[in-house]
Chain A
Amino acid sequence: MISADDDKLTGLPFPKTWNGAYVFVLINFAGWIILLVALRLFTQ
Chain B
Amino acid sequence: MNGLDIFLLITSIAAIAFYGVWHTRSRRDLNSYVRGSDHTPWWVIGISVMATQASAITFLSTPGQGYLGGLGFLQVYFGVPIAMIVISLFFLPIFHKLHVYTAYEYLEKRFDRKTRLFGAGLFLLQRGIGAGLTIYAPAIVLSTVFGWSLQWTIIAAGTIVMIYTVLGGTDAVTVTQKYQMGVIFIGMTAAACILMSKLPPDLSIVDALGVAGGFQKLNASNFSPSIHERYTFWSGLLGGTFLMLSYFGADQSQVQRYLSGDSVRESRLGLLFNAICKIPMQFCILMLGVMIFVFYQFNQPPLFFDAASNQYLESRKGDPTHAQNLLKYETQFKETHAQGKQHLENWLKARREKNEQAATAEFVGAAMAQQEGEKIRKAAAQELSTQNTEIKTNSADYVFITFILRELPHGAIGLLVAAFFAAALASKAAELNALGTCTTIDFYRVLIKRQATDEECLVATKCFTALWGAAAIAIALFAQLSENLIQAVNILGSIFYGVLLGLFVVGFFIRRVGGTALFWAALVAQLLVFVLYYKLTISYLWYPLIGCAACVVFSLVIQIFLGDKENKVKPA
Residues of A within 8 A of B (CB): 10-12, 18, 21-22, 24-26, 28-29, 32-33, 36-37, 39-40, 42-44
B221 interface neighbour in A37, A42, A44, Cβ under 8 Å: A37
- Which residues from chain B contact A11 at a C-beta distance below 8 Å? 265
**Main secondary structure on chain B at its contact with chain A?**
helix
B221 near A43: Cβ-Cβ < 8 Å: no
* Segment 208-225 of B: residues with Cβ below 8 Å from A: 209-210, 212-214, 216, 218-221
- Which residues from chain B contact A37 at a C-beta distance below 8 Å? 221
A43 interface neighbour in B82, B213, B275, Cβ under 8 Å: B213
| Interface: B280 (CB within 8 A) | yes
| Interface: B269 (CB within 8 A) | yes
* Given A25-B275, A32-B280, residue A39 in contact with residue B81 (CB < 8 A): no
Apart from A26-B81, A36-B220, 11 more pairs, CB < 8 Å: A10-B269, A18-B88, A24-B276, A25-B84, A25-B272, A32-B283, A33-B78, A36-B71, A39-B220, A40-B213, A42-B213
A-contact bits for B191-211, CB 8 A (1 contact / 0 none): 000000000000000000110
B81 near A25: Cβ-Cβ < 8 Å: yes
- What is the minimal beta-carbon distance from A2 to any residue of chain B, in angstroms? 10
- What is the minimal beta-carbon distance from A44 to any residue of chain B, in angstroms? 5
- What is the minimal beta-carbon distance from B277 to any residue of chain A, in angstroms? 10
Q: Chain B: which residue is nearest A37 at the CB level?
A: B221
The 6 closest A-B pairs by CB, nearest first: A43-B213, A36-B220, A29-B81, A25-B275, A36-B221, A37-B221
A40-B217 Cα distance, complex, nearest whole Å:
9
* Given A11-B265, A28-B276, residue A44 in contact with residue B220 (CB < 8 A): no
Residues of B within 8 A of A (CB): 71, 74, 78, 81-82, 84-85, 88-89, 209-210, 212-214, 216, 218-221, 233, 265, 268-269, 272, 275-276, 279-280, 283
A31-B200 Cα distance, complex, nearest whole Å:
31
- What is the minimal beta-carbon distance from B206 to any residue of chain A, in angstroms? 9
A18 interface neighbour in B220, B233, B268, Cβ under 8 Å: B268
Tell me the total A-B contact number using a CB cutoff of 8 A.
Answer: 60
| 30 contacts across the A-B interface (CB closer than 8 A) | A10-B265, A10-B269, A21-B272, A22-B85, A24-B276, A25-B81, A25-B85, A25-B272, A25-B275, A26-B82, A26-B85, A29-B82, A29-B275, A29-B279, A32-B283, A39-B209, A39-B213, A39-B218, A39-B220, A40-B219, A40-B221, A42-B213, A43-B209, A43-B210, A43-B213, A43-B218, A44-B213, A44-B214, A44-B216, A44-B218
**Main secondary structure on chain A at its contact with chain B?**
helix
A3-B220 Cα distance, complex, nearest whole Å:
45
- Which residues from chain A contact B89 at a C-beta distance below 8 Å? 22
- Which residues from chain B contact A43 at a C-beta distance below 8 Å? 209-210, 212-214, 218
- Which residues from chain A contact B85 at a C-beta distance below 8 Å? 22, 25-26
A42-B171 Cα distance, complex, nearest whole Å:
47
A28 near B220: Cβ-Cβ < 8 Å: no
B210 near A40: Cβ-Cβ < 8 Å: no
- Which residues from chain A contact B272 at a C-beta distance below 8 Å? 21-22, 25
A36-B77 Cα distance, complex, nearest whole Å:
13
A22-B556 Cα distance, complex, nearest whole Å:
31
A11-B81 Cα distance, complex, nearest whole Å:
21
